[in-house]
Amino acid sequence: MNEATAGIGPSADIRLTVPPPAVVLYPSKGRQEPHGPQEPPRLGRVLARAAAVTAALTVAGSLLGLGRDQTIAHLFGAGSDSDAFLVAWTVPEMASTLLIEDAMALVLVPAFSHALARRAAGVSPDPVRGLVSATLPRLFVLLSCAAGALILGAQVVVELLAPGLASPELAVSCTRLTAVTVLTFGISGYLSAALRAHRSYLPPAAIYLAYNVGIIVTMVVLHSLWGVRAAAAGVAAGSMLMVLVQLPAFMRHMRVKRRRRKSRPHGGGAPVRTARPALLGLGVLAPVVLFAVCRQSQVLIERFLASSLPAGAISHLNYAQKVAQMPMVLSLMICTVTFPVVAQAVADGDEDRARRRVEQDLVLAAVVVLVGTALVVGYAPQLIEVLFQRGAFGAQDVATTASVMRVYALGLLGHCLVGALVRPFFSASRPIWYPAAVMAAGLLITTVVGAFAVQHWGVYGIAAANAVGITMTAVLLLSGLGSRVVSIRVRGVTAALGRLTVAATAAGAMGWLLAPLVPGPLLSLGLGCLLVPGVFAVSVLALRGPNVAELLDLTKQRFRHAR
């Protein structure tokens, strides 16, 4: 491997080539379990910078996403026009999951990790450039054909997604405008996976900044001429910016590696694995794609069920879900940064390092998402009022969206765990169908529960079905990981998650009780941002929960190294 370097600047990126510190935290132990040598100070600086920059850009992208949703709510409200756009937006959302967040990353990060390992072993010709030349042109042609087919079949797609929609013609028009995202998201996901495998995190972390800027600017400029179609055009423009923001770094990596790489005949030095694994064969691709399709199909089921409800139901579900999922997005930032480390550990056959990394990631991600969940549950009305109550989005929309968001929040830990657990499953070079089967079972639960609940509770029943289905999926993935890929200590992790959940419940309940007592939504929400984490921390200490002392110590070490 090349020596790890780090830089932050206009043309710099962030790289990691060594694993993060091994810390395994258990509820029954008040100490850190030692596992070999501690990380060097340089690694602490690199990891801290990578995590800090990724966190900053993730937060900035999420805030711009809120600004985008606020703009949509302000300009178009929660009615038939916004419902039509959101149905058209279903295709880009699914393409994003398949081509950026899940399938593309889960397949290509391990593939590039193996190629980089072969490059470091001196295999010639360059395995990384060979992987790119063998896959990128074919992917471009395939995705271009898929985008063209979507443009031609937009009417059929809308009829399948939302048969009861009030404005189907508008949805068809918007779908044709957003169809280009099938191509642009695919290329963007490919570049993100390649850069993350090279431990370059800055350009991939910036893609949602570029995406949301494109949407907001296009809407503001064109909404008076095109109406809600301007939002669809913005989605297309933003998706193109996602490619452009990563392309220079990708090209730089290809040029640098070709110039600096020192080829040597294979066979010298220590024995290495040189056989190229079939990481992009159909047997490996199929379970990853099926998992991603089943996961994103939850949104399809929700919008299908909501299309028969009064106008605005799809919009209420969308706004509630977007805000509620912000804690989950932030929590999965940890797993995004460390996924290449897990993939490399699995590729090297280092099961102990992979286990320690996965266990730590699960608990750290759970802490983040549960604090966010408590804040969402306790301060839902204040959140929605501050973010959306303006223009065409009125007080009744705020009340409905906030209530739906509280129901959605019950499944946030499940969403977080599914995103974290599936990464080690797909780090192996052999096909693993278990995650896809489990996700399909969760989708079936969501569908059955949703079909029953929507008749009695409307949008609340749909949100509850989402929470039930994803939670069951997370339980099955957690129980199945240890016996299939990485031998994590399921009982210890489950006990830790249980104590953290109780602490989050106490914090959320305290916020729910005290939030109405503070005048003004902004002041109430500001105080809640202090109250909820404080109550959570105190509750964890009272429960003698996991990770408090160890997390504080780990944080101090990383900040000390970063100085």
Domain membership of residue 3 (yes or no) is: no
Q: In a 3-state reduction of DSSP, which class is residue 9?
A: coil
Whether residue 380 sits in one domain with residue 232: no
Are 104 and 162 found together in one domain? yes
Helices 313-324 and 380-388 meet at what angle, rounded to 10?
110
Low-confidence ranges of the chain (pLDDT < 50): 1-44, 257-279, 552, 554-563
Assess if residue 484 is contained within a domain: yes
pLDDT score for 11: 32
pTM score of the predicted model: 0.65
How confident is the model over 297-333, as pLDDT tens digits?
A: 888 888 888 888 888 888 888 888 888 888 887 777 7
Identify the CA nearest to 18 among candidates 34, 49, 40.
40
Whether 40 is in a domain gets the answer: no
Place of tokens 């149905």: 87
What pLDDT, on the 0 to 100 scale, is given for residue 261? 45
Final residue of a structural domain among 210, 235, 254: 254
**246 and 288, same domain (yes or no):** no
Same domain, 442 and 555: yes
The pLDDT score that the predictor gives to residue 20 is 36
Q: How many domains does the chain have?
A: 2
- Chain-centre distance for alpha carbon 549: 28
Q: Is residue 363 part of a domain?
A: yes
CB 545 within 8 A of CB 29: no
Asked whether residue 101 falls in the same domain as residue 168, the answer is: yes
- 110 lies in a domain? yes
390: β partners: 393
Q: What is the pLDDT of residue 39?
A: 43
Q: Are 262 and 269 in contact (CB under 8 A)?
A: no
pLDDT at 219: 93
CA 406 to chain centre: 20
Domain assignment present for residue 207? The answer is yes
* pLDDT at position 7: 32
* Cβ atoms 501, 370 nearer than 8 A: yes
- Confidence (pLDDT) at 441: 94
Whether 199 and 328 share a structural domain: no
pLDDT of res. 17: 33
User: Do 312 and 195 share a structural domain?
Assistant: no
Compute CA distances 131 → 104, 138, 317, whole Å.
14, 11, 41
Residue 24 maps to a domain: no
State CA 473 to chain mean position distance: 16
Domain that holds residue 146: 49-254
Provide the pLDDT for residue 337.
Answer: 64
Report the C-alpha gap between 420 and 331 in whole angstroms: 9
- Region of 391 (left: φ > 0; alpha: ψ -120 to 50; beta: rest) is left
Residues 453 and 519 occupy one common structural domain: yes
Whether 212 and 300 map to the same domain: the answer is no
pLDDT digits (tens, 9 = 90+) for 493-541: 888 899 999 999 999 999 999 999 999 999 999 999 999 999 999 999 8
Question: Same structural domain for residues 290 and 219?
Answer: no
pLDDT at 161: 83
Q: Are residues 450 and 363 in the same domain?
A: yes
* End-to-end CA, the chain: 26
Q: Which of 14, 6, 20, 127 has its CA nearest to residue 344?
A: 20
Structural domain includes residue 30: no
Token representation of residue 361? 């990631």
pLDDT value at residue 40:
41
- Position 46 scores a pLDDT of 55
Same domain, 245 and 355: no
Cβ atoms of 171 and 87 within 8 Å: the answer is yes
